[in-house]
Amino acid sequence: MIRAQTTRVRALVHSVLLTQQFFVPIALMLLVVEAILTYAIIQRVSYTEIDWQTYMQQVHGVLGGERNYTKLQGDTGPLVYPAGFVWIYSVLCALTNNGTHVRRAQYVFMGIYLATQALVLMIYRRARVPPLVLPLLVVSKRLHSIFVLRLFNDPVAMLFAYAAVLSMTRTSTRRWSGLLLSLGIAVKMNVQLLLPGAAFVWWRTGGLRTTVVQLVVVALSQVVIAAPFVYAFPHEYVARAFEYTRQFNFVWTVNWRFIGDRVFASHEWALILAAAHIALLVALAVVVWPRLSHSTLPTIVRQGFTRRAHSDVSATEVAVVMFSANFVGIVCARSLHYQFYAWYAHMLPLLLVHARLPLVAVPVVWLVIECAWNVFPSTHTSSLALLAAHIVILVGIFRAPTHAKLS
């Protein structure tokens, strides 16, 4: 009798934590908890002004008629974000009485936060991620701060990025993925880190034609969104909005504190990181991504030149390809500032599961990353710990079994 009850309890625990049977009610419960928690944070924790007023000053310049990006400034620096940022924050400016009603802006960002969580949970549901790791999505102190206590533009960009990933998991909505991804890039250029993964998925689903069409959509939509600036001052716009040679301030780096200011600022270090990024992307394309479909890169390339119909690509494959492409860009980033945690925080549970780490190691590695992002200013120890945790995930991704199922 006792043995039978124990067996039933174990079966129930397994069903709740490791299968999709109760995923939806668990996800809905987490969203309700998040709504209550985030509202309480807004009410009880002081807002910290960092870039919001600068954003408003830059937007006011555009609304005043200025189209030269080199002349758009704020208290903390020049405008260095693409035109989508300008239009979205212009709306926020109008909604918040020219940026003075900060509490209202916080509620808007609470909505963005909950919408992002909902999109991520839908991606996880389709990718069959076990509910066991879902609490990791909702307990980040730094992530709540980025969204509702700092009002950075990174969450807005990632909202579009996750919408793009979700659209790619469904055949009926996949055609919109290029546009959604481009909308994210139009807010902040970090979303470009997902483009290599997107190109791979497009090639897998529709071959050369689909890939070219989607890349054209990405490029043309950037021109349309930035039309007033591109028409008036094209060079100035591109040079500022997509400045790949930008020099980052060592004061704010989270990931490379231990290498020292001189190495951090050197051109040689930038080249090493760029080469490492390219090498890791190539390795993903050759080793990791093809085995998700039990194939090889030469076979996938050959099929892409001949395919006319859509190929059946699992949601798990889409999520792993997109998230891993973004992750290697994070690992090799020239600098990670505190708000950049939003670039991949929601991806970590899925990547940790895919890396096939021992169950006890999943929360430990996540906690190391979370703690590193909460040390201010960063230290040699915190940045080394962050790098070590990233390497653990990276090694796990390359060593993961060939099958794509996560649960």
pLDDT of residue 405: 54
How far apart, in Å, do the first and last CA atoms of the chain sit? 30
- 338 Cβ neighbours under 8 A, 6+ residues apart: 142, 146, 252, 254, 373, 376
With beta carbons less than 8 A apart as the criterion, state whether 226 and 237 touch: yes
Beta bridge partners of 74: 77
With beta carbons less than 8 A apart as the criterion, state whether 349 and 129 touch: yes
pLDDT < 50 positions in the chain: 404
pLDDT of residue 404: 46
Other beta carbons within 10 angstroms of residue 265's beta carbon come to 15
pLDDT of residue 8: 76
Cα–Cα distance for residue pair 253/329, rounded to 1 Å: 15
**Backbone torsion region of residue 356, taken as left when φ is above 0, otherwise alpha when ψ lies between -120 and 50, otherwise beta:** left
403: which 2 tokens? 């099958």
pLDDT of residue 306: 85
- Which run of H or E residues covers position 277? helix 267-283
- 354 Cβ neighbours under 8 A, 6+ residues apart: 320, 324, 396, 397, 400, 406
Written as one letter, the residue type at 360 is V
pLDDT of residue 178: 98
Cα–Cα distance for residue pair 179/220, rounded to 1 Å: 9
DSSP labels, 280-300: HHHHIIIIIHHHTTT--HHHH
pLDDT digits (tens, 9 = 90+) for 118-142: 999 999 999 999 999 999 999 999 9
pLDDT of residue 65: 96
Other beta carbons within 10 angstroms of residue 92's beta carbon come to 21
DSSP H helix total and E strand total for the chain: 19, 2
Percent of the chain with pLDDT over 90: 90
pLDDT of residue 2: 72
